[in-house]
């Protein structure tokens, strides 16, 4: 007589994940679609909020869904990639992918250069610089926080521009393209203010791209671009000539 083999029960959170994946396979939700709320999933599956939360958290960690605080959970689209070496306007990248780009101006003002910024711009501490802070959104989801510092010598009318209608990069390129660029990329943990602006959790890993530009040997801009790691990728591909 052969004994029956015991089977390990499938955890409830795994059933929630499978329910969502089955719905995707049936075509109920497309990439970028908003998934049912936690309340709707609880009603449909009869499981606890903790179970739903764990399922969605694991799917988020796996890159299958995107959770936007205060908005909802969305079926993730393939992670977009933008050139790292080339200076690209994020609005062009987003539109090239067939998505909608919008922006929100948070700050546009003159500031006094700190000692660190004075060194970057080859000027004296306290010298006037222009500062702008803008958040860029792709299909309504924040994907980049841009803080840009500009020397008045390079862009004297910077504070007069309407950066709710035109990106800062588009305007600056119209003055003069950079002749020298320095890029540095690092992984950072966002501060509470960045979390609020990008609508991300405190545990979200972010990429910080620091870019310094010169025009004909004169410092022009220094910019800080913060990207949520789950929503954006920086990279490039190019040919290398062998000498």
The model's pLDDT over 29-66, given as tens digits with 9 standing for 90+, comes to: 887 788 898 889 998 899 998 999 888 888 887 778 88
For residues 90-114, one letter each, b for 16 or more C-beta atoms within 10 angstroms of the residue's C-beta and e for the rest, the string is bbebbeeeebebebeeeebeeeebe
Number of C-beta neighbours around residue 180 at 10 A: 13
Q: How far apart are alpha carbons 144 and 77 in whole angstroms?
A: 17
Instruction: Please tell me the predicted confidence (pLDDT) of residue 9.
Output: 66
238 has a pLDDT exceeding 80: no
Instruction: Please tell me the predicted confidence (pLDDT) of residue 78.
Output: 60
Instruction: Please tell me the predicted confidence (pLDDT) of residue 241.
Output: 52
Q: How far apart are alpha carbons 91 and 81 in whole angstroms?
A: 13
Instruction: Please tell me the predicted confidence (pLDDT) of residue 232.
Output: 72
For residues 131-162, one letter each, b for 16 or more C-beta atoms within 10 angstroms of the residue's C-beta and e for the rest, the string is bbbbbbbbeebbbbbbbbbbbeebbeebeebe
pLDDT level of residue 223 (50, 70, 90 thresholds): very high
The model's pLDDT over 109-167, given as tens digits with 9 standing for 90+, comes to: 999 999 989 999 988 999 999 999 999 999 999 999 999 999 999 999 999 999 998 99
177 has a pLDDT exceeding 60: yes
Tokens of 24: 């995707």
Tokens of 179: 């002749």
Instruction: Please tell me the predicted confidence (pLDDT) of residue 2.
Output: 41
Domains of the chain as residue ranges with CATH: 12-75 (1.10.10.10), 81-234 (3.40.1410.10)
Q: Which helix (H) or strand (E) element contains residue 92?
A: helix 90-96
Report which of residues 240 and 223 the model is more confident about: 223
Q: Are 134 and 146 within 8 A, CB to CB?
A: yes
Q: How far is CA 68 from CA 54, 133, 143, 228, in A?
A: 16, 21, 11, 11
Instruction: Please tell me the predicted confidence (pLDDT) of residue 236.
Output: 58
Span 196-201, average pLDDT: 92
The model's pLDDT over 68-123, given as tens digits with 9 standing for 90+, comes to: 777 788 887 665 555 554 567 888 888 888 889 999 999 999 999 999 899 999 88
End-to-end alpha-carbon separation of the chain, Å? 75
């Amino acid at each position: 007589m052969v004994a029956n083999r015991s089977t390990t029960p499938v955890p409830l959170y795994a059933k929630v994940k499978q329910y969502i994946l089955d719905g995707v396979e049936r075509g109920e939700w497309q990439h970028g679609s908003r998934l049912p709320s936690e309340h709707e999933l609880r009603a449909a599956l009869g499981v606890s909020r903790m179970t739903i939360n764990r399922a969605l958290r694991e799917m988020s960690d796996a890159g299958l869904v995107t959770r936007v605080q205060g908005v909802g959970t969305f079926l993730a689209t393939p992670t977009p990639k933008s050139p790292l070496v080339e200076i690209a306007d994020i609005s062009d990248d987003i539109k090239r992918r067939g998505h909608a780009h919008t922006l929100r101006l948070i700050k546009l003002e003159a500031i006094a250069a700190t000692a660190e910024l004075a060194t970057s711009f080859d000027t004296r501490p306290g010298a006037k610089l222009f500062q702008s802070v803008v958040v860029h959104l792709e299909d309504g989801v924040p994907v980049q926080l841009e803080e840009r510092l500009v020397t008045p010598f390079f862009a004297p009318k910077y504070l007069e521009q309407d950066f709710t209608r035109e990106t800062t990069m588009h305007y600056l390129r119209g003055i003069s393209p950079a002749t020298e660029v320095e890029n540095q990329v690092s992984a950072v943990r966002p501060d509470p203010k960045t979390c609020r602006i990008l609508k991300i959790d405190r545990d979200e890993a972010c990429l910080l791209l620091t870019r310094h530009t010169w025009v004909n040997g004169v410092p022009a801009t220094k910019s800080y671009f913060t990207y949520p790691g789950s929503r954006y990728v920086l990279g490039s591909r190019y040919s290398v000539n062998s000498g």
